[in-house]
């Protein structure tokens, strides 16, 4: 049984598991520590005003709600140290292990891109077969959720990784500034940006509408100028629309 849990960003250990560790560490013939006796000691070690911050309940085998404590790492170690330094070390190691296990797992850009390709192929296969429309839509939702960008991809040619907002496509840069490129103007916008920043553009593989495509992205130093280009296109479109309405 493991009572180690992660609440938000904090790892905690229950009084039940600390008692379990204590009893496992005791030599043959030594009396087992009762959980009720451990609870009495909490107030002495942590203090009356502090102990209550960690009180909670657990459901016993008979369905009854019984009192217990759930401690973060510092208080778990303090309670363990009140029994022995060896137990404190065991609790510290146990909680450190869980902290390490709870950290977000990272994968390489190559692995992320390969996964996205597999998911794209899976969506096409499911869609064309017509046998699993619900599964196909689930895959499509994942792909349209900007999967690659969310985990630090795209992968820049030359094995340079673009992560976070440092390197973005021109449409993403415009969107970040609150500018929506009107329908039919995307290609014109892309060409203008590519012509202006020909030496700074990088080709990357990205997910675009559920397909892996090569697109151009630009470093942060270009963002302001690209936003200006986007703003001009939006203003031109708005002016054209207004003139058409007036006419």
Q: What pLDDT digit, counting tens, does each position of 159-190 carry?
A: 333 334 466 778 888 888 888 888 888 888 88
- pLDDT of 131: 55
Q: Are 77 and 92 in contact (CB under 8 A)?
A: yes
Q: What is the pTM of this model?
A: 0.42
State which of 102, 122, 155 marks the end of a domain: 102
Q: How far apart are CA 195 and CA 193, in angstroms?
A: 5
Query: What number of H helices and E strands is found in the chain?
Result: 11, 9
In a shared domain, residues 197 and 118:
yes
- pLDDT of 5: 42
In angstroms, the Cα distances linking 67 to 32, 54, 78, 246 are: 19, 11, 20, 75
In a shared domain, residues 164 and 186:
yes
Residue-by-residue pLDDT tens, the chain, 247 positions: 444 444 345 788 899 999 998 998 888 888 899 999 999 999 999 988 888 899 998 888 888 899 999 999 999 999 999 998 888 898 898 888 888 777 665 656 666 666 666 766 665 666 566 555 555 555 555 554 444 444 444 333 333 333 344 667 788 888 888 888 888 888 888 889 989 988 888 887 665 555 566 778 888 889 899 999 999 988 888 887 766 665 5
In a shared domain, residues 231 and 185:
yes
Total tally of structural domains belonging to the chain: 2
- pLDDT of 153: 41
Query: DSSP for 154-194?
Result: PEETTTEE--GGGEEEHHHHHHHTT--PPTT-HHHHHHHHH
- pLDDT of 4: 45
State which of 45, 73, 102 marks the end of a domain: 102
In a shared domain, residues 77 and 121:
no
In a shared domain, residues 16 and 76:
yes
Instruction: Please name which of 158, 156, 180 lies closest in space to residue 168, comparing C-alpha atoms.
Output: 156
In a shared domain, residues 179 and 79:
no
In a shared domain, residues 150 and 96:
no
State which of 53, 83, 102 marks the end of a domain: 102
DSSP class of 168 = E
In a shared domain, residues 114 and 236:
yes
Task: Identify the domain containing residue 224 by its residue range.
Answer: 109-246
Angle between helices 35-46 and 73-81 (to 10 degrees): 110
In a shared domain, residues 211 and 167:
yes
């Amino acid at each position: 049984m493991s009572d180690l849990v992660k609440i938000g960003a904090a790892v905690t250990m229950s009084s039940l598991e600390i008692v379990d560790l204590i009893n496992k560490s005791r030599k043959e013939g030594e009396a087992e520590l009762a959980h009720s006796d451990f609870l009495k000691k909490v107030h002495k070690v942590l203090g009356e005003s502090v102990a209550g911050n960690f009180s909670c309940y657990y459901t016993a085998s008979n369905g009854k709600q019984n009192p217990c404590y759930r401690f973060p790492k510092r208080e778990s170690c303090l309670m363990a140290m009140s029994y022995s330094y060896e137990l404190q070390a065991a609790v510290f190691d146990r909680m450190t292990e869980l902290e390490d296990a709870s950290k977000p797992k990272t994968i390489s850009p190559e692995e992320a891109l390969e996964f996205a390709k597999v998911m794209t192929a899976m969506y096409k296969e499911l869609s064309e077969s017509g046998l699993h429309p619900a599964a196909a839509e689930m895959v499509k939702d994942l792909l349209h959720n900007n999967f690659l960008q969310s985990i630090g991809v795209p992968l820049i040619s030359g094995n340079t990784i673009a992560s976070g907002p440092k390197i973005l496509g021109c449409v993403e840069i415009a969107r970040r500034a609150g500018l929506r490129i009107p329908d039919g103007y995307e290609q014109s916008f892309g060409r203008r940006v590519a012509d202006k920043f020909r030496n700074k553009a990088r080709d990357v593989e990205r997910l675009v509408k559920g397909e892996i495509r090569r697109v151009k992205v630009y470093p942060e130093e270009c963002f302001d100028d690209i936003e200006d280009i986007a703003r001009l296109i939006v203003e031109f479109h708005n002016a054209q629309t207004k003139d058409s309405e007036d006419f």
